Structure 1
Amino acid sequence: MSAHIRVRVSVTGVVQGVGFRPTVARIAAAHRLSGFVRNDAGSVQCEFEGPRPQVDAAIHALRTDPPPLARIDTFDVTARPLGGDPGFRIVDSATSGDENARTLVPPDIATCPDCRRELFDPADRRHGHPFITCTNCGPRYTVITDLPYDRPATTMAGFALCARCAAEYTDPADRRYHAQTIACHDCGPQLTWDGPGSGGAPLESATAALRAAMIVAIKGVGGYHLACRADDDEAVAALRRRKNRPAKPFAVMVADVDAARRICVVDTAAEQALTSSAAPIVLRPARPGGVSVEVAPGLGDLGVMLAYTPVHHLLFAGLDVPALVMTSANQGGSPIVFRDENLDWIDGLADAVLGHDRPIHVPCEDSVVGIADDGAEIPLRRSRGYAPLPVALDVPAPTVLATGGDLKTTFALTDERGRVHLSSHLGDMADPRTQDCFTAAVDHLMFLTATVPVAVAHDMHPRYATTGWAQRHGGPREAVQHHHAHAMSLLAEHRLLGRPMLAITYDGTGFGTDGTIWGGELLAITGATEFTRVGHVAPFWLPGGEGAVRQPARIALDLLRRAGIDPADDLPPVVTLGPTGMHVLTQQLARGVGCVPTTSMGRLFDAVASLLGVCQQVTYEGQAAVELEHLARRGRPCAALRMDVTAGVIDPAPVIAGLVEGLRAGAAREDLARTFHDAVSDATVRAAAAAAADAGITTVGLTGGVFANRLLLAGISAGVRARGLTVLTHRVVPCNDGGVALGQAAVAALRLAAAGERSGPCVSVSPAG
């Protein structure tokens, strides 16, 4: 007979809110062991006692088959004296110990298959329950107010369990054993309806309103959506008018994968992304006639997501529509509405409101991903389902708060374990309400991670709202150049900090070290915190600064001038500007008055979109470039146009001249658009290969918002690999400004570590946000 032993297993990572303790208890029961399991602030602690073979088997089972939503960072086993427990117990969470050691906060998880099955089973007591959850699914990050993760530390604290739910909660054999968000019709949250037919059943009233082409605000996991029929031109057009969103594409939601296939192309990789526990919006090629052309005007892709909450599933069960537009409930640039008391922010947008009485503690927008040619997910917005999971820096460093960029704002918070906790997407920091939400989200994440930074990292741009926020909050600050932050975010997510890389950083706007606007940069990253600018797009002008971003014909006119092209009225930018505009711009360019110099690849794409007549008025960030890419996907190269590359400077003038020649010869716009893409890829590969060889670097990284363009990403990646170089692309954080906070945090933390910085906290934190 084997001797009895007792061991303690301490596990850190995403181990609370994912059914870890029930799994431990079931493993103990299966191996007939005694002991206990409990949460503390930083880990799950369990002790197994019994014969050595059974204890070893239990340890192996826990290590190799944890709950599906868990993520184990550390797994430590130590010997303990025998305790003689009568059985195995889940004990109350510990409040003692190191309060600075916090477990990772889990993200919100889409409704699992078991809960969906029960939701539509008339024999199940939770049949039709709009808030059905279990240990494997449901809200987490958006409802957690404190750690350890227990029901009193969530926004479900006000919903006392009924006798039947309490029995499930305490039954080790039940799927809802210690599931903190469980409830039922008798004891859970309730839906509400404010709209036509008030007083009736909320779900039935909502489905009737949607069928009638009304716009309905729907409270979800991380905030309110505005929803309407995606197959109704008038309903979608009305939503555009009310949101003042004339062209930016809307996301759509469908009931299931089969419904997704009816409106867009869904391959194996896309299906895996759609059905994952994160349930992001996935960009896919649209099928003709699937939804209204008003959903994504001028584009060939749809942003599609599956129903991911019980309310969504129940709505689709009562609707006979192919899809619903499901877009954030906000005005352009403002944060998503998530508090019931802030519904006045969307006055005039919705005809009715489907709400509920479960509070949302922090907002969290939907995540967006694309699918690369190799089937990998390309993160474009990292939010629900992913935030606030951290990225490992793999280097011990001081704690830093990084404020990110002004658009697609996210922030990052490092801890002393070398992890970077990443916030959800917060919106446009130009809106004061976004700044308030930003401050509250910072306080909340600092509280949950028990982390107080010693410095704040921010962008070098002096007029960024995030820079102003850092200045107002006092204490030590670290300014980080925008494109350096992009490059370091790529190295950080690949856990390659300190390795040399030639970074191709293409985006719209970034404040350069010389005070000009950069955006088409080749940077040699040769140390932990150093970079050298080794190449860039040849400078051109933005006549009128931000006005040129909105009206790219102005930029096109300057590029025509630099290419030696007579801007005759057969060219689309000239027609757009008209005689008066042409007179003003010609004088402005001759004198250089109000002309902002830039090297931006994003602005170059905008100018070519204007030159080809694709987009003359930009109403959302990246519109011209996105529409140009979608046009190019339908084309074939019609000429071998090449940009000049001299000493790392990429001059587009020869290609601009070639495009004009093609236009005047009657070439198809889609073929010219494709030719331009190929020319950019070719020039970039030549410049990068030469710069990498000069610096002795063998790894090339592609980062910056322009690399959301899949044609360019594929073309440059293939070309660089053909030169025998290794290519890094984003797979964890977005290539756009949604990922820049990670790079800021990495640069600042490494700088402070090198300087031996160990000063006191510089940002205050309020309890539980």
Structure 2
Amino acid sequence: MTCCDPLLKRKKITVAGIVQGVGFRPFVYNLAIKLDLSGFVTNNVSGVFIEIEGEEETVALFEKELKEHAPPLAHITKIESKPTPMLGTSGFAIRKSDGTGEKTALITPDCDVCAECVKELFDKADRRYRYPFINCTNCGPRFSIVNDVPYDRQYTSMAEFKMCKECEAEYKNPADRRYHAQPIACPVCGPAVKLFNEQFDDLNCKNPIEKTAKLIDDGMIVAVKGIGGYHLVADATNETAVKRLREKKKRDEKPFAVMTKEIDVLKTFAHVGVREEALIKSVSRPITLVRKKSDATLKGVAPGNKYIGAMLPYTPIHHLLMSEVKSDALIMTSANISDEPIVFTEDEARIKLKGIADAYLVHNREILNRADDSIERMMKHGPVVLRRSRGYTPAPIMLSREHPKILAVGGEMKNTFCFTKGNLAFLSQHIGDLKYESVYDSFISWIERFHKLLDIKKPDAIAYDLHPSYLSHKYALEQKDVPLFGIQHHHAHMVSCMAENHVEQDGIGIIFDGTGYGDDGQIWGSEFLVGGVDGYTRMATIKPIPLPGGERAIREPYRMALAVLLELYGDDLPNLDIEWLRDIDENTFSNIRKMTEQKINTPMSHGMGRVFDTAGALLDIKPVASFEGQTAMELEMACAENITDSYPVVIDESRQPVTLDFYPLFRQMINDRMNNVEVPVIAAKFHNSVAKGAFAVAKKIRGISGIDHVFMSGGVFQNAYLSDKLGEMLENGGFTVFRHSRVPPNDGGLSLGQAVITARRFEKMKREESLHVRRGADESY
């Protein structure tokens, strides 16, 4: 046949999505060879570009196979195919990457080491036997080592490691599993591990990992450098080591994550269902919350919690370490202080972990992009990401339509930012609480890094939260020559849920969180909104809770409980037989009463999180919290099972917005407690009542608006009991319910909603400007 043969076709095919660093080019090469097609494939700044030539039917089959049998780590977002003149070429080649043009290629998230590499890791006959950086095209580091796109070795932290002849031969062989595996390495040419002592002096160990295991067996705390940063590692079965780590990290009661050697080990002390197991074993390897079999399990690791955050080894270093230690479970907690960013450089480790770590297991493969472990929880409707970071970032969220280039800077706590570009939204990894200087510095540097990776020199607009004290708000206002859009906090939550679920039509937003700046300058957080991307109406909220002492009341929820009781009982309060009340000294009682009655430093909060804190404190569940959200979390953990009773819920329709009043419920809780009803029963009845009240309000709104789509968002919906209970009530009541799954319901998902709302407002602004220009031109004639 000649190039003019009508039965022959040549096509240009552009594949966008996560298609670099996942074995896509060798997949294309081998597919073309199998089908006897000619042409070439290359990486470019947009993804993968293919020119393919051959018989028309075979080219069509190639395109079908391309879509249906892509490599497991690939995620195709778009394929464009168009005919091009025949060239009459023979053979198929993989060409050098093209780094020119606008960068739209997607970077692959880091993923766990694959089963084939693990097998080689422990194979004495393999040249990478016990090599801590074994990887292939199907696994290993990606985002954490990337500096730019296209994803080629020269743009990664592996650039400084020149491949040996054997690695180079594998790298260049299209039939090899390590063909174009950018982090490819071996003991001859790749990175290496070292063990340093407490003073950060090199111990010159022959086997650093074996020595590290011995230190952990002896109760020591070792800082271990992984993919996205350092972990502080200790024996989870050693109560003394756990207590020592808590003291050194100043983490009195907040749960630690654990890593087990294998899934069967985890099943010995936790209930692991089929869905949890699939999540734990997924390539993202998140920390997954699983229910403990006994409170005595790994004592001290997750006190006051029915669940434990567990994960499996996801790097070769983890596998090697777990093979050496005597314990079946290790604490693997982020190496940081309080809520500061995870340590990821040796200089940071030397300074910030001084006095905490007894030793440091480090390596010389530089981490360019730090990322904490992601956290997920399985609920009835499916998995919910609570912290989206390592293993998920920077994979985009698909949007239902094209968007301008928007930067949304998120909130203050659990901060993430978001860029939109085309029909994709790129959420940053978890950054943290911006009130810490080091976190805010990371926030700024990460925005700059994403500008580079996404090739967005300047956004079309910037979105920010309305709260004037948020540092993200202040950052946005400092940006010059770019339109700025302030977005209400709970509206952003609602639209975040809409965007994740690809819903454009208006609905009812049930947004429950701890705080958020309202349009009236008050603290919102139990919001029933009707609307969508274009706007909303606040239809209902709750009777607010006093916060005597402001933010101090959030750390000490007994203050809110006392303020509520003072309103309910007044001068009769001292006569109540409530044990925790007797523990409050007279001076504190008097001060809180004065603040509450005279409204001195006592803001009023509509936050549902504060309702849960108050309820917990009323039951003497963590009246003073040692970490954010502890009281509400332990209230959920206290719930008895199979309780269907609830308390009466009062809805005041005479107010605008309609008000859900929990004060009578609080009185009923106190009555139950004084009548010796068990705390777990009261806790369950409280949860049932909140769900019942929200359902009743939703029905009233449906009766007014005719809308039956509900979007549940906000940090309170991390509570599985409430989320499952309310979701079930709504669905049984004829509502279509949308919840989060891949985007956190907490403030970690806020920036997505901000970005989508701002895109709509920016487009409207541009249309109005264009209309104004046209009108001006018409008037000039």
1:537-591 CA-partner distances (Å, limit 9, x unpaired): 1122111110110111111112223333633363244234322211111222221
Q: How does 1:241-256 map to 2 (within 5 A)?
A: 241-256=247-262
> 1:767 is matched with which residue?
none
Q: How does 1:685-704 map to 2 (within 5 A)?
A: 685-704=695-714
Shift of 1:724: 0.7
Q: Confirm whether residue 509 of structure 1 aligns to residue 515 of structure 2.
A: yes
> 1:120 is matched with which residue?
122
> 2:57 is matched with which residue?
53
Q: Confirm whether residue 418 of structure 1 aligns to residue 423 of structure 2.
A: yes
3-state SS of 1:241 partner = helix
Paired residues in the alignment total 752
Q: Distance in 1 between matches of 2:646 and 2:466?
A: 39
Q: How does 1:300-311 map to 2 (within 5 A)?
A: 300-311=306-317
Q: Confirm whether residue 260 of structure 1 aligns to residue 266 of structure 2.
A: yes
3-state SS of 1:262 partner = coil
Q: Distance in 1 between matches of 2:360 and 2:646?
A: 56
Q: Distance in 2 between matches of 1:700 and 1:185?
A: 55
> 1:661 is matched with which residue?
671
> 1:365 is matched with which residue?
372
1:260-297 CA-partner distances (Å, limit 9, x unpaired): 21221111100110111100000010122774321111
**CA 1:402/1:573 → structure 2, altered by over 3 Å: closer, same or farther?**
farther
Structure 1 range deviating more: 80-89 or 580-589: 80-89
> 2:213 is matched with which residue?
207
**CA 1:223/1:661 → structure 2, altered by over 3 Å: closer, same or farther?**
same
**CA 1:220/1:290 → structure 2, altered by over 3 Å: closer, same or farther?**
farther
2:230 aligns with one of 212, 224, 234: 224
**CA 1:157/1:269 → structure 2, altered by over 3 Å: closer, same or farther?**
same
Shift of 1:52: 2.8
3-state SS of 2:400 partner = coil
Whether contact under 8 Å (1:563, 1:657) holds in the other structure is: yes
1:420-462 CA-partner distances (Å, limit 9, x unpaired): 1111001111111111111111111111111121222111111
Shift of 1:199: 1.7
Whether contact under 8 Å (1:254, 1:323) holds in the other structure is: yes
1:297 aligns with one of 280, 289, 303: 303
> 1:92 is matched with which residue?
96
Shift of 1:633: 4.2
> 1:190 is matched with which residue?
192
Q: Confirm whether residue 427 of structure 1 aligns to residue 427 of structure 2.
A: no
| Partner amino acid, structure 2, of 1:582 | F
> 1:567 is matched with which residue?
573
| Partner amino acid, structure 2, of 1:656 | F
Q: Distance in 1 between matches of 2:108 and 2:661?
A: 47
Q: Confirm whether residue 473 of structure 1 aligns to residue 479 of structure 2.
A: yes
Q: Confirm whether residue 409 of structure 1 aligns to residue 419 of structure 2.
A: no
> 1:43 is matched with which residue?
47
1:461-505 CA-partner distances (Å, limit 9, x unpaired): 1111111221233343211111111001000101113x1111111
| Partner amino acid, structure 1, of 2:62 | A
Q: Distance in 1 between matches of 2:753 and 2:583?
A: 39
Q: Distance in 2 between matches of 1:724 and 1:411?
A: 35
3-state SS of 1:662 partner = helix
Whether contact under 8 Å (2:286, 2:373) holds in the other structure is: yes
1:16 aligns with one of 6, 9, 20: 20
Q: Distance in 1 between matches of 2:228 and 2:485?
A: 31
> 1:708 is matched with which residue?
718
Q: Confirm whether residue 397 of structure 1 aligns to residue 400 of structure 2.
A: no
Deviating above 6 A after TM superposition, structure 1's stretches of 4 or more consecutive aligned residues are: none
| Partner amino acid, structure 1, of 2:440 | Q
Structure 1 range deviating more: 450-459 or 743-752: 450-459
Q: Distance in 2 between matches of 1:311 and 1:640?
A: 50
| Partner amino acid, structure 1, of 2:589 | M
Identity of aligned residues (%): 37
Shift of 1:60: 1.7
3-state SS of 2:268 partner = helix
> 2:772 is matched with which residue?
none
Shift of 1:234: 1.1
Q: Confirm whether residue 555 of structure 1 aligns to residue 560 of structure 2.
A: yes
> 1:528 is matched with which residue?
533
> 2:776 is matched with which residue?
none
3-state SS of 1:756 partner = helix
Runs of 5+ unmatched residues, structure 1: 760-769
Q: Distance in 1 between matches of 2:310 and 2:554?
A: 29
Q: How does 1:597-612 map to 2 (within 5 A)?
A: 597-612=604-619
Q: Distance in 1 between matches of 2:367 and 2:582?
A: 50
> 2:325 is matched with which residue?
319
Q: Distance in 2 between matches of 1:573 and 1:518?
A: 29
| Partner amino acid, structure 1, of 2:569 | G
3-state SS of 2:469 partner = coil
Q: Confirm whether residue 742 of structure 1 aligns to residue 752 of structure 2.
A: yes
Structure 1 range deviating more: 161-170 or 436-445: 436-445
Whether contact under 8 Å (1:230, 1:291) holds in the other structure is: no
1:274 aligns with one of 280, 292, 301: 280
3-state SS of 2:161 partner = coil
| Partner amino acid, structure 2, of 1:140 | R
When the two structures are superposed, what TM-score results if normalisation uses the length of structure 2? 0.94
Whether contact under 8 Å (2:702, 2:708) holds in the other structure is: yes
1:244-274 CA-partner distances (Å, limit 9, x unpaired): 1111111111122112212211111001101
Shift of 1:28: 1.0
> 1:752 is matched with which residue?
762
| Partner amino acid, structure 2, of 1:301 | Y
> 2:336 is matched with which residue?
330
Q: How does 1:154-165 map to 2 (within 5 A)?
A: 154-165=156-167
Whether contact under 8 Å (2:194, 2:204) holds in the other structure is: no
**CA 1:357/1:408 → structure 2, altered by over 3 Å: closer, same or farther?**
same
Q: Distance in 1 between matches of 2:614 and 2:558?
A: 6
3-state SS of 2:676 partner = coil
Shift of 1:62: 1.1
> 2:777 is matched with which residue?
none
Q: Distance in 1 between matches of 2:573 and 2:122?
A: 64
Structure 1 range deviating more: 625-634 or 80-89: 80-89
When the two structures are superposed, what TM-score results if normalisation uses the length of structure 1? 0.95
> 1:444 is matched with which residue?
449
Whether contact under 8 Å (1:576, 1:616) holds in the other structure is: no
Whether contact under 8 Å (1:642, 1:682) holds in the other structure is: no
Q: Distance in 2 between matches of 1:313 and 1:433?
A: 32
1:129 aligns with one of 131, 134, 148: 131
1:351 aligns with one of 331, 354, 358: 358
Shift of 1:84: 3.5
> 2:775 is matched with which residue?
none
1:668-726 CA-partner distances (Å, limit 9, x unpaired): 11111111111111111001111122122111111100000011001111111122111
Structure 1 range deviating more: 585-594 or 597-606: 585-594
Q: Distance in 2 between matches of 1:83 and 1:168?
A: 31
Shift of 1:58: 1.9
Whether contact under 8 Å (1:252, 1:325) holds in the other structure is: yes
Whether contact under 8 Å (1:454, 1:758) holds in the other structure is: no
**CA 1:575/1:634 → structure 2, altered by over 3 Å: closer, same or farther?**
farther
Q: Distance in 1 between matches of 2:488 and 2:640?
A: 33
> 2:384 is matched with which residue?
378
Shift of 1:748: 1.0
1:652 aligns with one of 648, 662, 673: 662
Q: Distance in 2 between matches of 1:192 and 1:183?
A: 17
3-state SS of 2:278 partner = helix
> 2:106 is matched with which residue?
104
Shift of 1:650: 0.7
Shift of 1:80: 2.3
3-state SS of 2:586 partner = helix
Q: Distance in 1 between matches of 2:586 and 2:643?
A: 34
| Partner amino acid, structure 1, of 2:14 | S
RMSD: 1.7
Whether contact under 8 Å (2:23, 2:181) holds in the other structure is: yes
